[in-house]
Structure 1
């Protein structure tokens, strides 16, 4: 009898751990390369994307707020991502900050 109670306890702990992991990955801000982002675009689907240069930390407050908004925006069908621009994959969205 004790072993079945212990099995139920282990299953409960495993479920809690899986839910915690799922919640943390679900609410996180996906970080993509420009190529990854443009290959996943879907016609008719709204998205909010933050394009930044490699190593840019100037907007850390904005990024924290954006991370908080991921789940509520996804509830409305809006995908959210951070695209890190690299020189090799430069697109018109990855230009100089002053030019945008």
Structure 2
């Protein structure tokens, strides 16, 4: 899912979700006139950055952010963190067993 940062609709979709304080794949589909898979990927990315909750038992999600600037900031911070190379200084690599 982390490959969708460059989708040109991610920031407008975040804006739409935060302003309307509701999130659904079908709502994003209708508003942006895109397919189900792409809308689902956008919602999943919003979940990964902490903007929306995971699906509840009833399939609904909750918007966890009330301000647009905070939502966009969460997205940018998450994107920057994922784009960085991992810190391997404390990693111990064990030889594989043959």
TM-score by length of 2: 0.26
Higher relative contact order (CA 8 A, sep 6+): 1
Structure showing greater Rg: 1
Length-normalised TM-score, structure 1: 0.25
Larger strand fraction of residues:
1
